Structure 1
Amino acid sequence: MKNENNVFEFSPSPWVPFRDKKEIERALKIRREDIEKHDNPAFKIRVVPDSDAEFIWVTDMFKRIRHSAETSEKLVMILPNPAPSYRHLARLINACNIDCKNVYAFAMDEYADENGNIAPENWEFGFTHAMMKYFYYEIEEKLRPPKNQIVGFTNKNINHYSQMIEDAGGADVCYSGPGWTGHLAFIEPDAPEFQAPLEEWKQMGARVCSLSPFTLAQNSLHGSFGKSGNLAAVPPKAATIGPRDVINSKHRFDMHTISVHGTSTAWQRSVSRLVLHGPVTPLVPESILQTLRTDVFVSETIAQNIETDWNKGY
């Protein structure tokens, strides 16, 4: 971009879904001491120590499951994966002898191939596989809910997955956390399958969509794929819940805690500020939470001020 003052300026790459530089710069200037402030009192943001984040999430799930057992009330949860932390939840359930017969869990998303075929439960890198491995099968058999109450995406149910959640009574809670694009589940801002004006977008249910190149990069760093940046290891598409399912949930629980293996390097530090304090737009899908009753937990690492560090390379 030409500039009479000879200042180098440029527009964000076309690959970047949200490119409003003014809004990006405003959000990224939000300081640690201001990140908890929001105009919507039902959108509660709390900064917590990094060491507490996993415990807070597991505690919330355990509290809900125990309440379900004590009251015989149905509990319907939308769960993210892959999450080895579910093992801690299962240990608590087993130690306290909690009957989970009233628990219903729906996977938030699942990988799919280039033709839209959804990964089966037995694919070891899949999200349904992880939910069953780390959660369901870690619970003592006598305490588990019936297996058909733990639901993942399949080629057969994708077209009525949202209706299945609603038929179960609707989700009592949807657990989430933003991806590098600001996606919620795999609701990608640049996926052609989710292109619509805001009000129409909010009504969209579950579907298979194309994954952003940024999501491929993000997930290639996950331990399940060797944490080595192998872009070819990550499937090109995914099945996912839609904005409708998030909005229809009775409550939402959102975690912003991802750094690069416990270091101060965190791609989430920028997108979290856009999610929490930027405009509400399908170009930053998680931003819809700003309009809804949501408990948000931000780790100290993610809440850190965004500042230049000339002493660091990659």
Structure 2
Amino acid sequence: MDRSVFSYSKERLISEGKIPVKCLGDSGEVFYELALEMVNQIEENNKKGEKTVFICPVGPVGQYPIFVRLVKERKLSLKNCYFINMDEYLDDDKKYISKDSKLSFRGFMDRAVYNQIPEELNIPEENRFFPDPEDPGKILRVIESLGKVDIAFGGIGINGHLAFNEAEEVSAEEFATRTTRVLAISRETRVANAIGDLNGAIDAMPIYAVTIGMKEILMANKIRLGVFRSWHRAVLRQALFDDPSGHFPVTLIQNHRDALILANSEASKEAF
């Protein structure tokens, strides 16, 4: 890849990027846009009597308090919603980490989303899914039984990963076939996450995760990603201008029919 792309201006990202990008102000705008995408899709589907199916991240997470507030204000029923979370950390035996851990994505969704919504509006427990290290094929079966994924939400990792689809030196075509699986988390991902989640305690970070695959993500009718950190400046530019491959997984969405990256002013700045 031509390294000059890391110095491309915000205007060039918008006009020439291979993935549509919306450059916003502060991070709150990114999170608000993501929350609006959620509630607007649910309202649209509810009016038509249709189910809503989302693939949901725990990172970014700033959209969830806004989503919860809007659900309460609009008295928006989530009874016909299905939330499929992207991933979860595993322990050294490749089992789920405890829900009580501050790192647990399952625990986060309970605390920040499901426990905050009135029961009369809430998503039924049987409609809440996480990839299962004991049954990796379950997520694909769920999606196939539901017949769709309306929107896959997410962020982009330091090496271009979506969910925990860590980079591999394979073609885009091969990487696009990856489905839900247990894998070892790369050193760079563990470092980046340790800085944000454990104040730099790299050796306390899990080394395994279970993640949905690129196949499940690419099945979604829409893909919406949020970027907002200083190191997202380089990540965003590589996502928009590198050739699609497993080397930088987010590049695979360049050919998706309805993908959009939402970037705050920090991520929109030149990397160097």
Letter of the 1:269 counterpart: R
Aligned to 1:207: 181
Segments of 5+ residues of structure 2 without an aligned counterpart are: none
CA RMSD of aligned residues (A): 1.8
Aligned to 2:218: 247
Contact (CA 8 Å) 2:131, 2:138: kept in 1 or not?
no
What SS does the aligned partner of 2:120 have?
A: helix
Among candidates 200, 211, 216, match of residue 190 of structure 2: 216
Letter of the 1:57 counterpart: L
Aligned to 1:92: 70
Question: What is the 5 A alignment of 1:38-117?
Answer: 38=16, 43-50=19-26, 51-82=28-59, 83=61, 85-117=63-95
What SS does the aligned partner of 1:94 have?
A: helix
Superposition misfits of 4+ residues, deviation over 4 angstroms: none
Task: Please state if 1:180 is matched with 2:158.
Answer: yes
Letter of the 2:267 counterpart: I
Aligned to 1:4: none
Highest relative contact order (Cα 8 Å, sep 6+), 1 or 2? 2
Contact (CA 8 Å) 1:102, 1:145: kept in 2 or not?
yes
Aligned to 1:163: 141
Among candidates 262, 266, 269, match of residue 233 of structure 2: 269
Aligned to 1:13: none
- Matches of 1:135 and 1:116, distance apart in 2: 26
Contact (CA 8 Å) 1:128, 1:153: kept in 2 or not?
no
What SS does the aligned partner of 2:267 have?
A: helix
Per the TM alignment, residue 53 of structure 1 is displaced from its structure 2 partner at its CA by 1.3
Aligned to 1:3: none
- Matches of 1:102 and 1:217, distance apart in 2: 38
What SS does the aligned partner of 2:36 have?
A: helix
Contact (CA 8 Å) 1:44, 1:295: kept in 2 or not?
yes
Task: Please state if 1:198 is matched with 2:172.
Answer: yes
Could you tell me the TM-score, scaled by structure 1's length? 0.80
- Matches of 2:42 and 2:85, distance apart in 1: 17
Letter of the 1:48 counterpart: L
Per the TM alignment, residue 39 of structure 1 is displaced from its structure 2 partner at its CA by 6.5
Letter of the 2:235 counterpart: V
Segments of 5+ residues of structure 1 without an aligned counterpart are: 1-22, 259-265, 308-314
Aligned to 2:266: 301
Aligned to 2:97: 119
Contact (CA 8 Å) 1:64, 1:75: kept in 2 or not?
yes
- Matches of 1:120 and 1:106, distance apart in 2: 19
Letter of the 2:21 counterpart: I
Could you tell me the TM-score, scaled by structure 2's length? 0.92
**Residues 169 and 123 of structure 1: CA distance in aligned 2, closer, same or farther (over 3 Å):** farther
Contact (CA 8 Å) 2:133, 2:182: kept in 1 or not?
no
What SS does the aligned partner of 1:287 have?
A: helix
Contact (CA 8 Å) 2:131, 2:180: kept in 1 or not?
no
Q: How many residues align?
A: 269
Q: C-alpha offsets along residues 117-138 of structure 1, whole Å, 9 cap, x if unaligned?
A: 2335444421121122211111
Per the TM alignment, residue 84 of structure 1 is displaced from its structure 2 partner at its CA by 5.1
- Matches of 2:87 and 2:153, distance apart in 1: 12
Contact (CA 8 Å) 1:76, 1:169: kept in 2 or not?
no
Structure showing greater Rg: 1
Identity across matched positions, percent = 22
- Matches of 2:12 and 2:170, distance apart in 1: 32
- Matches of 1:120 and 1:160, distance apart in 2: 21
- Matches of 1:154 and 1:122, distance apart in 2: 18
